[in-house]
Amino acid sequence: MVDLKQLKYFVACAKTGSFSKAAEILYTTQSSVSKVIKSMEESMKIRLFERYTRGIRLTREGEQVYQYAKPVLENLEKLEGVHEQEQTEVLSVSCNPSSWFADMFVKFYKIHQEDHLHYQIYSASSREIVERVRERMDDLGFVYVMKNQLPAFQYFLNRNYLEFELLKVTDITVYPGAEHDCLKNEEGRLTLSGLKLIQRFPDEFSPDNYWNILDDQGNSAADAETVITTNSDYIMERILKVSDLVNISGGYLSGEPWNKETVSITLPGNENQVLYGFVKRQNEELSEWSAKFVSFLSQDEASDAGDGDK
């Protein structure tokens, strides 16, 4: 049987490539390290390292053992830190990219910065958020969902023993780039046909998957040309400040005026509505801090994400 001491010595040797350097970080002697590794090799009946005059190198079998041993020690460190973590409250949430959410989180943090609360905030797609909440990596996951996709999203959540709670309803919004001089046709109506777009990578349930969006003339966003696809909010905002590209949905934009005459244009109609809320595990009450955070986002002045400035 391989014991914990052998694993620690083995991983230290693999990381340093030297018995002597491993001995230094283990606060022991080189001969002691060598004996432990030899004992481990005899127990496993395999050779873990090739020995050279200037160091050591993992064998093929040693590489395989390292892939298993490393996470074991990492998880052990986490177990040893559980007691310390219990002494500190932690709020762990994931969210669709959203500058509005970022602004609200900053406000929440400033209000509670003296409460000894730690935070873990992770930006992700809706599908990844579902996985993270299901696997208890996060307490809550905040998402944008197209209204016409809600039944499919709820079915997907139910299969993962999760549920969705609504916080706000808003409209799809079009954000013109600063150099876009004609978002409207001669009749003064917004037209989606022929636009050049910068979009986030499409999320199955969110406004980024814009193919079913229509303007008031029945033109489909599917007729627009996607020039840039990105997962970077920074690139998104910088491109819109210096180009004629257009973004549909814009849940991750800060609302700064790319175009002084037209900051944003909403697409009214039930088919163009977006639902904003959070994903939680079924039949579980929210923790104290999760409930406080949700309550903060639900306040009238806080939850006004704007019709499109989400």
The pLDDT tens digits of the residues spanning 144-166 come to 888 888 999 999 999 999 999 99
DSSP-derived secondary structure letter, 261: S
Q: How many residues does the chain have?
A: 310
- Tens-digit pLDDT profile for residues 254-269: 545 544 454 677 776 6
Residues 184-199 have pLDDT tens digits of 545 545 677 778 888 8
- Rounded Cα–Cα distance for residues 310 and 167 (Å): 12
**More confident of the two residues 77 and 50:** 50
Asked if residue 135 has pLDDT above 50, the reply is yes
Which of 287 and 271 is assigned the larger pLDDT?
Answer: 287
Mean pLDDT of the chain: 83
pTM of the model: 0.64
CA–CA separation, 225 and 210 (whole Å) = 12
Ordered alpha helix ranges (H), the chain: 4-16, 19-26, 30-44, 60-80, 82-86, 99-111, 126-134, 150-159, 233-242, 288-298, 300-303
